[in-house]
Amino acid sequence: MNHYLDFAKELNLILSEEDIKLDEPMKKHTSFRVGGPADIFVTPKNVDELVKVIRSCKERKVPYFIIGFGSNLLVKDGGIRGVVIKLSKFSNIDIKDNVIKVQCGASLAKTAREALKYSLSGLEFACGIPGTVGGAVAMNAGAYGGEMKDVLCNVTILDHDGNIKILSHDELELGYRTSAVLKNQYLALECEMNLKNGEYDEIKKTIDDLMGRRAEKQPLEYPSAGSTFKRPVGYFAGKLIEDSNLKGKTIGGAAVSEKHSGFIINKSQATAKDILDLISHVQKIVKDEFDVTLETEVRIIGEEI
């Protein structure tokens, strides 16, 4: 039963009807392709609408959760109570000289391709990362030796009091899969990245090489949330899992990838419970075998059925 129907009517005073959905299945909005319904699902078109929606949620004490592409997200089968705010319409990319100004709902991979068009180098590592710029900023996303901290100049954020601030590179506290945005649970709205002028053909060659390596080593043919576990200090999660003889292990429709043991995949109509049970099983076995605790890199939210 949806307890927020009256609140949905209030949101209609802020958003157009097409930007509000009730009981929206979250499996449509996560790369794992699992997850129960969100009571209210909204897609504000601009910062003003976003701020008003958040303010209304706080005033009415309605819980809310903000997502990008859901590429690092596991929503439980019972879904999400309250409001899910998706930033997919915050996607402008503006390039001037060697600075890219991009809204944080934009695709990181698309941003890397736009940089290529202008022969700008520095974002090659991001060409295959499936999330949004905002998610990449919050987690200091990285791959193949590159990280967001290498290119970020500043990030415009929305704080808990509804204030819009600009955080400099130093203020972002960028570390391994973390940042001040993540630690303080700020909302990234926009960022500026400083890239270097390069040769189009060389940049494209690097991108093609990285995309080829990604396709060869990662199970891109199955729904997943990328690397399921953080890299433990001194180890590689995938190697620990493989050495624990867990490659190919299945629970329900979820499986440890045969191609890359660091990925848990939705192999055959998995439920969120299948994936969660497999995550727990992998963590237990690796702990028993190597006395190493695997922490999830994927964010887990929502309620059980």
DSSP alpha helices (H): ranges in 68-168? 108-117, 133-139
The CA-atom distances, in angstroms, between 180 and each of 167, 168, 170, 176, 295 are 9, 11, 10, 12, 20
Tokens of 257: 């990838």
Report which residue type is found at 13.
L
Residues whose CB falls within 8 Å of the CB of residue 280, separated by 6 or more in sequence, listed in order: none
The CA-atom distances, in angstroms, between 284 and each of 7, 77, 134, 289 are 42, 23, 32, 9
DSSP string, 179-243: -HHHHTT-EEEEEEEE-EE--HHHHHHHHHHHHHHHHHHS-TTS-B-S--BPPPTTS-HHHHHHH
80-86, strands of its sheet edge to edge: 20-25, 37-42, 80-86, 64-67
Write phi, then psi, for 85 (nearest 5 degrees): -110, 115
Report which residue type is found at 165.
K
Tell me the C-alpha distance between 39 and 179, whole Å: 30
Active-site residue list: 177, 227, 297
